[in-house]
Structure 1
Amino acid sequence: MRHWPLFALRLTTPRLELRLPGLDDLDELADRAAEGVHDPAEMPFGVPWTDAPPHERARSTVQVHFRQWGTWSPGDWSCSFVTVWEGRVVGVQEMRGRDFAVTREVATGSWIGLRFQGRGIGTEMRAAVLHLAFAGLGARYATSSAFVDNPRSLAISRRLGYREDGLAVEKRRGQAVLQQRVRLSRDEWTAPDGFEIHGLEPCLPLFGA
């Protein structure tokens, strides 16, 4: 689409492709959400959307993308890529920016279908959006956060070079839980081999870059 060039934006890595989803991609992503994202005894998300029944998880997964597209502005955007591995949509890697033209800071979040976890996909897809942020958009910082009882997410952050950036208290399932904030600066980031950005230039004004 000439007036919405984001649909042509793609990130590629040695094993993955990240892209804004088409309708078929959203349908497959909704299947991943319905199948399950984590052990029901755990809750890695501040908003417990995965506590809903499978059909509601599927529907809300589709709706969140429509909301992000409809409210996108250069000063406040959320870019959620579907992650494709071996031809299958396996999860989502999101990158958000607010007043990016001034702050030059992005935040990330992600999830992967339960049966596709444990393959290093989470690290590789986060590295892909870091490459977009630092090499493509000229970001100065990338931030993330995870509850302190979510060691897998925090391990990905450490692996990619993030530093601890303080604690926050958040409500989760009606209880107060500590969340660890982390931060990575462009100076501490190492550009990965085999990572490429496609179709970015027409999208730059939409990112405020």
Structure 2
Amino acid sequence: MTSEYWPLDDLCVRSGSIELRPPLPAEYEALADAAARETHVHPLIPFLEHASDTPMERGRRTLQWLWRNYGTWRPDEWSLALAVLDRGRLVGVQNVRARDFARDRVTQSGVWVFRDERGQGIGKHSRHALLHLIFDGLGAERSRFRAAADNRASLALARSLGYVEDPPPATGRGGARHFSLTADRWRARPHPVPAHIEGLDRALFMFGIGHE
């Protein structure tokens, strides 16, 4: 049942076989299980960045990350985790976050597709749906994305969606490459699979825009 105090629960982006929506509490355990099965360190994914973690610790970190996203939410600093479903199957998570979004209109984003679901185009398709939310739903002017320097799949994904590589910041995490995509560049590109957003209007105030 949707809470009148938390309208984000109604948010959904659909694009072909892909659906993005806040994960249901019952799906948290499945996300933790998928993280526990990961065999490689992912330095830019908060719950998969610790090489010394046991599977149990990776699962716990995943739950803590999901809880923290909601527990620390403020309109001037938020982090939205969206479950990625392909034909109804839970296959990963997209994340978009921002600080002072109402002023800057800039987001950071990340993607994690389950280990046994990679190589099927899910990352690109779900990222396309997320960018539709970022630019056409929230009215962002720029979307930023970091990829590990040795992650060929993430680097290729960024370029295929029109991201342009930026110079590395003076301070920041080493071993990462930084990309950005502007709203103008996004809208100038073809979008062969349309995306549709539901349930956003009532939640805009939670992103620091619109009115409650």
In the TM superposition, residue 146 of structure 1 has moved relative to its aligned partner by: 1.1
Provide the rounded CA distance (Å) in 1 between the counterparts of 2:175 and 2:67.
31
Equivalents in 2 of 1:71, 1:57: separation in Å?
Answer: 21
User: Alignment length, in residue pairs?
Assistant: 201
1:24 and 2:21 matched? no
Give the equivalent residue in structure 2 for 1:110: 111
What is the percentage of aligned positions where both structures have the same residue?
38
1:65-80 to structure 2, matched below 5 A, reads 65-80=66-81
Residues 1:49 and 1:82: Cα distance change in structure 2 (over 3 Å):
farther
1:9 aligns to what? 11
Q: Is the 8 A contact 1:131 1:191 kept in 2?
A: no
Q: Report the Cα offset of residue 191 of structure 1.
A: 6.5
TM-score of the pair, normalised by structure 2 = 0.88
Is the 1:44–1:150 Cα contact (8 Å) retained in structure 2? no
Distance in 2 between residues matched to 1:191 and 1:80, nearest whole Å: 26
Give me the CA root mean square deviation.
Answer: 1.8
Q: What's 1:144 paired with? A: 145
Q: Give the superposition deviation at 1:148.
A: 1.4
Equivalences for residues 80-119 of structure 1 within 5 A:
80-119=81-120
Residue of structure 2 in register with 1:185 after alignment = 182
CA contact 2:43–2:50 (8 Å) conserved in 1: no
Look up the SS of the partner of 1:167 in the other structure: coil
Moved over 2 A (4+): 42-47, 167-171, 190-194
* Structure 2 alignment gaps of length 5 or more: none
TM-score (norm 1): 0.90
Report the CA distance between 1:127 and its aligned residue: 1.1
Deviations 1:142-174 (A, max 9, x none): 000112111110111100000011125765xxx
Q: Unpaired runs of 5+ in structure 1?
A: 172-176
